Amino acid sequence: MSQYTYTPIDVASSNFRLVRILPPIKPLFPGFSETIRVEIIETSLQSRLEYDALSYAWNVSPNGETPNRRVVVETKDGPQDLMIFQPLEIALKHLYSAHQRPIFVDQICIDQYNLVEKEHQVGIMRDIYSNCERAIIWLGPGTRASDRYYRFAQEINGEGVMSRVIGPRVAQFMNVFDAVMDPTLEVTESEREDRDDILDMLSRYGHRYPLDGITDVFQRLWFTRLWTIPEACLAPNLVFTCGSHTMCYDCFRGGILFYNLYNTHWVKHTVTKVSSSHLKQRDHILELSRSLSRIVQERKAIHQLQRRLGIYNIILKYNVNDHEAKIGVTLPQDRIFALLGLASNDDQLRALIRPNYQDDVSVIYTDLAVLLLQHNLDALLFVQTPKMAAMPSWVPDWSMSLKIPYGYVTLTEPTFCAGGEHDGQSIRYRRDGNVLTVPGIHIDRITHVGTGTLSLDADNKPFDYLNYRSSKRFYDEICQTIRDAASSADSLYASRDVDDVAVRIADGGLVLKDLESRFGDQALPRMHRFHKNMNILGSALIKSDETVKAFSMGRIFTTIGIIPWYLFPAPELDTLFLCAREPRKAAWSIMDSIAEFITDVTLTIGSSLAVSIAALRIKLRQRFAPQRFHSPQAHYDKVADRVGMDAATMQDPDMHALIQSLIRNTGRRVYRTDKGYVGLCSPGTEPGDRVVVFLGGSVPHVIRQKPEADYGEEMWTYMGEAYCEGVMEGEALKDEFASAKRTFSLV
């Protein structure tokens, strides 16, 4: 049978193809699977033909994997072969009997080897999915666990309560949610009805919730892929199919909503100890369910609120993963092109971006970076490490794991305004050499970079907890750096208290600025209390570690500082004289030394072993022992008093915000400049690098000069963002920095 040959689509038109699934070809021999048979039809966006669209995970690598499953395409010239990947074959076999409408299947409907056609079809993908009757989301073959979850979700949705609270009564749901957690709250009559119905369902269904089932469903590859997001968000209706089970969008939402209600209620009212493994399972489910939350929020913005984001914010939203798993995609350029359909219709930046599958990804990302930087200079903050080596230093690599910039409260909310307003007109790009010229202000040259950094507590994985030992050492290093900077009379910090500066620098100024907006002059004393308690805890942990090390076998004698007498043998003549004249006394002396040696070794081993076992027991309890959600306040007070901390301060919500802010700053190091500026820099910064403020940027940056012999002119490598105490609020725009203004050429 001949291979199927696509009839090219006119790229000037709005045409696209659909697939009609035909009865499969029966195998000639028992035990062999059926062969899928389809018809491919061409239509246009203006056609009124009703069709579905398939959303599924290709599950192929970007390394040139070849499709190996045969599909028979019926044409006017007779049947022809088309090769597809196995995940699609499995999906089509399940979908045949249930779906009679034509269906859009990208792997078949787009000629994957015609890059021009692919660019055209990706460009109209938004309209293809927006105009379909529904998107069929194929999660994969069913399992016992997934079947159990689908049956359970259908059972609870059959009560009608979930559809009511996310449908006609959605406006009051947050009040109902609070009332479910605390039934003593005053509510309206309709809110009381919803509260009582949910509490009744929790009592009947909560203990039966199939945790393994929901984990199985949300671990499906579909939830981890980028292309599935626009496919699920653009379509007017959705159904979720897993094996032989199908569930509508609202029912699927209802199932996870009931889990959130059940889990929050369980956390609030569980008083017994809970195993660490059970807690990790529940935490894992919450992490997995974020993928559905993204779709729910995006669908609401598109279909209900009619408020789409611009492409700049869309790119950030789905490519900056922070501490979460990166959304997967096969081709790195699709991290941009797959998102075009989600952007606002009137977004001018989106209109400048065209799908391009012919150039290398480094070229695509470079061209995109020019557009993004002209739109918002803070796109530079997504130049993080490690990135693709082939790209210019100022180009973000959207395929790597990216964090929210240090100087941002949220992904789109900058905290500072170091470089003033951005107009985008002064940025120039020279394609010859990939040179980006940006106007800015040279602040100073870095002369010292610290060695310490904040880190996470490895004993508490997979949860992110601050390592208080590292925070204590990091704070001490910041204080010492400030003292060194303030040693000169003209230093910016000469007249300021060291701790006043240190508490601001430690987390990059984020929390203190927020506290100042709420507490005014009381913000600084609050920060001092927070850091004092953290330093007390860090010191106690460091002291504990030193005690454990002191009782190690190798160090115990040195720690005690006493060398036993039997390790110093008497002079040879004295020993011979004693053995000759008083052999009995000599023998007793030898016996005494052996006895004392055995006693000392026994005590040494016993002490070392006891301390080692105690330390190991604490680590094992910390990581694996059952935990309580709610301990009596007296317990917190007792623990805090034992260490020397204030329990109320440690439980303050702002203290928690500070800890989370410090966690965000893991990896940064303290630096000092020639003129005495102190701040935080990104990994990879070295003495000799420069701190600059680019006009229009919210924070300072670190750049490194390239050898002029290589370029014939002054060129710079972009190193990363920085915090510089004293220039975060636009101070560099004042007259005293007028002579430092210049244009920087980044390569």
pLDDT of residue 629: 63
Residue 655 in this model has a pLDDT that exceeds 80: yes
The residues near 327 (Cβ < 8 Å, ≥ 6 apart) are 224, 225, 226, 229, 318, 319, 321
CA–CA separation, 517 and 698 (whole Å): 18
Query: Across the chain, how many H-helices and E-strands are there?
Result: 27, 19
Residue 45 in this model has a pLDDT that exceeds 90: yes
Please indicate whether residue 25 or residue 43 has the higher confidence score (pLDDT).
Answer: 43
Please indicate whether residue 183 or residue 576 has the higher confidence score (pLDDT).
Answer: 183
pLDDT classification of 262: cutoffs 50, 70, 90: very high
Nearest residue to 198 via CA among 149, 150, 253, 161: 161
pLDDT of residue 578: 60
Tally Cβ neighbours within 10 Å of residue 701.
31
Looking at the DSSP bridge assignments, the partners of residue 74 are: 79
pLDDT classification of 436: cutoffs 50, 70, 90: very high
Query: How open is the CA angle 55-60-237, to the nearest 5 degrees?
Result: 5
Task: Calculate mean pLDDT across residues 685-710.
Answer: 93
pLDDT of residue 179: 97
pLDDT classification of 501: cutoffs 50, 70, 90: very high
Residue 545 in this model has a pLDDT that exceeds 80: yes
Task: Calculate mean pLDDT across residues 123-130.
Answer: 98
pLDDT digits (tens, 9 = 90+) for 209-241: 999 999 999 999 999 999 999 999 999 999 999
**Which range, 25-39, 61-75, 676-690, is most confident?**
676-690
CA–CA separation, 396 and 394 (whole Å): 7
| DSSP-assigned letter for residue 300 | I
Range in 99-103, 337-341, 709-713 the model is least confident about? 709-713
pLDDT classification of 99: cutoffs 50, 70, 90: low
Residue 454 in this model has a pLDDT that exceeds 60: yes
pLDDT of residue 490: 74
What torsion, rounded to 10 degrees, do the Cα atoms 355, 361, 363, 367 define? 50
pLDDT digits (tens, 9 = 90+) for 167-214: 999 999 999 999 999 999 999 999 999 999 999 999 999 999 999 999
CA–CA separation, 342 and 231 (whole Å): 10
CA–CA separation, 115 and 432 (whole Å): 26
| CB-CB contact of 327 with 321 (8 Å) | yes
Q: Tokens representing 158?
A: 């059959």
pLDDT of residue 594: 73
Q: What integer best gives the mean pLDDT of the chain?
A: 90
pLDDT classification of 62: cutoffs 50, 70, 90: confident
| CB-CB contact of 243 with 141 (8 Å) | yes
The backbone region for 726, taken as left when phi is positive above 0, alpha when psi lies in -120 to 50, beta otherwise, is left
Q: Tokens representing 460?
A: 């508490």
Handedness of CA 196, 200, 201, 202 (dihedral sign): positive
Nearest residue to 110 via CA among 136, 133, 82: 82
Look up the pTM and report it. Answer: 0.88
CA–CA separation, 363 and 128 (whole Å): 28
**Which range, 88-97, 298-307, 580-589, 622-631, is most confident?**
298-307
The residues near 538 (Cβ < 8 Å, ≥ 6 apart) are 468, 469, 470, 471, 472, 473, 475
Residue 592 in this model has a pLDDT that exceeds 90: no
pLDDT digits (tens, 9 = 90+) for 349-402: 999 999 999 999 999 999 999 999 999 999 999 999 888 878 999 999 999 999
